[in-house]
A and B are shown apart, each in its own frame.
Chain A
Amino acid sequence: MAIESAGVDYTLAELMTVQASRELKDGDVVFVGIGLPNLACNLARATHAPDLVLIYESGAVGAVPDRVPPSIGDPALVTGSLMVCGMSDVFQLILQNGKIQVGFLGGAQLDRWGNINTTVVGPYAKPKVRLPGSGGACEIAVHAQRVLIVMKLSKRTFMDKVDFITSPGTRPAGKARGTASMPGRGPVKVITDLGILEPDPATGELVLTSIYPGVTVEKIRENIGWDLKVREPLGSVDLPSAAEISLLREKLDPQRLHIK
């Protein structure tokens, strides 16, 4: 789906990627996933954050992939990287030791507290659909200083209650974060294809804070499984620039694997 605004046309996937990329600050150490988060990180590195450090759970630190990595352990993440370490180092010396500023997560289900399910649809012992499971997601949710969630909105995925909490959200076990056992701030933004949700600072509940051009609050409510609160005044987002779109299409994802 193409949208045109201020002379720049872009797809929703491109809009989401650009929003995610702008959340990354120069010098941030980022735990990268595949797909849109990988593109967002590489876009940030090519624009406003040249000193962004990309870390993949597979052990590549300071990776500079020259192709879109089809998996999180792609050989292109190794060639030219700053460091390659074992996964015991990744999870202990880097993640548990508080060195990760930003972690990206997504999943099959998300609830109003930012809890994410990537394990199972239906009961754990009687799965309707068995999903892959945590991988590194649970510990990223626990330890990354900020968690960015990138997911398309739909009633099937944004649910009042998830079937299984793989990755804890803003109020793990009903408690606030910032403790030794839960050092990260948890989800700070949910970037969707219609708008952006952020946790209410007092309650931790995800509320609508920004909306994309041409989208209404009603449209968002139709696609979400809980009684969504709206933070007034509702913000808008800065749209992708021509330079960002051309970087994405010509350099970062020329085969349009993720930005279609």
Chain B
Amino acid sequence: MKDKVVSMKEAVASFVRDNDTVVVEGFTHLICFAAGHEIIRQGRKGLTLARLTPDLIYDQMLAAGCARKLVFSWAGNPGIGSLHAFRRLVEAQPPRLEIEEYSHFGMVGRMCAGAANLPFWPMRNYTGADIPASNPAIKTVTCPFTGEVLAAVPALRPDVTIVHAQRADRTGNAQIWGLMGVQKEAAFASKRVIVVVEELVDEAVIRSDPNRTLIPSFQVDAVVCEPWGAHPSYAQGYYDRDNDFYVKWDGIAREPSSLARYLDEFVYGVRDRAEYMKKHPGLAERLKAKPSVCAGVDYGY
């Protein structure tokens, strides 16, 4: 298959366009900050940003003016508190950001429908909650077999999804271990997919452990190798989550001026992840994962 390895700059230039619906997924784990930063550097505008937990990366992209709309299910700084850039936009009168809000299960269902090429996804949910009243896209559907009324959410079909993975081969067969969030569903729901990895490996490595492959190459348009590309999120087996930075972000994002200074120094002020890492001396030593290697399996027959 085709070698799809490109730089982050080329991947974003080719596959992320103004006004796209963009998903940078990863539930706490494997959130591709490197891609978010490159989208900011290239000045994308009018994006609809979707993911379950906007996290710090969407807070940064919102602050940088990349988005006109946010689709989400939990917009906080995990274990810390608020996403302040998000709050400033939503609490402004009139609000300066359009939002479309679900619960996690609702967003998961939207991704499942998109990935299965169905128009909607049914679920038992939302009775007695005000969430559907705040979001007219959450509807009900009557089961044709039992007559039961179920909640229904519409398929999400992103223009582009960016998935961070531990490793892939040069054609994009991507392997993930640890928390998998909705990366697989998001990738299959998406028209275009960029895979960003900690390590490029030979196809033989992928083939030695095929159960580990979450996304096959035919679903992938570009492969980018950027070690530490998920920091301050983490990559199981490679580096730990930088909780200190999540705590620090609360202070940085509280004021637009300190947030702008952060973007100037660590996003606009660097060309790529390697330069970003140079600005963080000692980071790699502090967060490098301690090994915990699995027992291995036998694929013989």
Is A58 touching B130 in the complex (CB atoms < 8 A)?
A: no
A186 to chain B, nearest CB (A): 9
Nearest-neighbour CB distance to chain B for A92, whole angstroms, equals 8
A164 CB-CB contact with B under 8 Å? yes
State the CA gap A138–B130 with chains docked (Å).
Answer: 10
Interface assignment of B228: CB less than 8 Å from any CB of chain A: no
The answer to the question of A134 belonging to the interface, with a C-beta cut-off of 8 Å to chain B, is yes
A72–B79 Cα gap in the complex (Å)? 8
The answer to whether A180 touches B131, judged by C-beta atoms less than 8 angstroms apart, is no
Among A34, A86, A115, A129, the one with the most B-chain Cβ atoms within 10 Å of its Cβ is A86
Whether the Cβ atoms of B105 and A165 lie closer than 8 Å is no
A10-18, A167-175, A207-215: which lies at the B interface? A167-175
B259 at the interface (CB under 8 A from A): no
Question: In the complex the two chains form, what is the Cα distance from A168 to B177 in whole Å?
Answer: 34
| Contact residues on A (Cβ < 8 Å of other chain), bracket | 35 or more
Known: A133-B73, A138-B131. A84 touches B179 (CB 8 A): yes
A134-193 residues with Cβ-Cβ distance < 8 A to B are: 134-139, 141-143, 164-169, 171-173, 175, 180-183
Contact B103 A137 (CB under 8 A): yes
Is B39 located at the chain interface by the 8 A CB criterion?
A: no
Bound Cα distance from A88 to B104, whole angstroms: 10
With contact pairs A88-B111, A139-B105, A181-B148 given, residues A72 and B28 touching in the complex (Cβ less than 8 Å): yes
Q: Does B300 contact A (CB under 8 A)?
A: no
State which residues 250-270 of B face A: CB under 8 Å: none
Judging by beta carbons under 8 Å apart, are B185 and A139 in contact? no
Given A73-B28, A182-B127, residue A139 in contact with residue B181 (CB < 8 A)? no
- Map CB proximity to B onto A45-69 as digits: 1 under 8 Å, 0 otherwise: 0000000000001111000000000
* Interface residue ranges of B89-126 to A (CB < 8 Å): 90-91, 93, 95, 101-105, 108-109, 111-112, 123-126
A-B CB contact pairs (8 Å), 27 listed: A70-B78, A70-B243, A71-B78, A71-B241, A71-B243, A75-B236, A87-B52, A87-B104, A87-B180, A91-B105, A125-B95, A127-B90, A127-B91, A129-B87, A130-B86, A130-B90, A133-B73, A134-B131, A135-B53, A136-B105, A139-B123, A142-B126, A164-B130, A165-B128, A173-B128, A181-B124, A181-B149
Known pairs A84-B180, A142-B125, A168-B129 / 19 extra A-B pairs, C-beta < 8 Å: A34-B79, A71-B78, A71-B243, A72-B78, A73-B78, A78-B178, A86-B180, A88-B108, A95-B105, A125-B95, A126-B93, A131-B76, A133-B74, A134-B74, A135-B52, A167-B129, A168-B127, A171-B128, A172-B127
